[in-house]
Amino acid sequence: MTGKQFVLMAALAAVLAACGPSGGSRPGPATSADNDACRLLGDAAALFGANADVHGYRGLDDMAATCEFASADGERGGEVILYTVQSLGATSAEARMADVTQRWDSQTETPLGEVQGLGEAAQIATDLPGYQTQIAFRKGGALVLIAGRDGSNERAAGEALARRMAQAAAANVQ
């Protein structure tokens, strides 16, 4: 495993760890056409370049779906996790988001920040392992978690990617 692949795997593990305990191993990939989390970004090539690698998965626990993205060269990567009213069941999107952002806050020394224009109560966590940035927002009863990282090892590049991913997702949340 290359250093870049290790950083991507660590970053994705951090996102999933922030979402709570797993109910088991992740189901096999679905096609992006079958996955609402993948569809939230629209054209992955616009964010990750030509031949972007996209893998959608059924959600674990109370997630509706997840989707992993990587540029063909492995330099940029990200993940989208979608929670819906149906997948959350008796838990509200507000309560789930509070749990997630509390976990993020414990993983970074940089205070969480607000993000305007995405939906309700959008929060951003920067300064996470692997120069990763995570964004959470609620919209229309859904909760969307975004993780973006850039292999340039510059926090600003990972943050810019995560913000572009979140804007694309916010435009497509039903």
Please report whether residue 121 resides in a domain.
yes
Please report whether residue 157 resides in a domain.
no
How many whole angstroms separate alpha carbon 65 and alpha carbon 86? 12
Q: Greater confidence, 13 or 93?
A: 93
DSSP, collapsed to helix, strand or coil, labels residue 84 as coil
Give the domain extent around 15.
3-19+28-140+164-168
Residue 160, classified by CB atoms within 10 Å of its CB into exposed (0-12), middle (13-18) or buried (19+), is middle
How many whole angstroms separate alpha carbon 165 and alpha carbon 149? 11
Q: What is the model's pLDDT at position 14?
A: 41
Please report whether residue 85 resides in a domain.
yes
- Mean pLDDT score, 148-164: 84
Q: Tens digits of per-residue pLDDT, 17-33?
A: 344 333 333 444 444 44
Please report whether residue 60 resides in a domain.
yes
Please report whether residue 156 resides in a domain.
no
pTM passes above 0.85: no
Q: How many domains does the structure of the chain reveal?
A: 1
Q: What is the model's pLDDT at position 27?
A: 47
**Residue 150 pLDDT class (50, 70, 90 cuts):** confident
Please report whether residue 152 resides in a domain.
no
Segment holding 9, helix H or strand E: helix 3-18
User: Taking all residues of the chain, what is their mean pLDDT, rounded to a whole number?
Assistant: 80
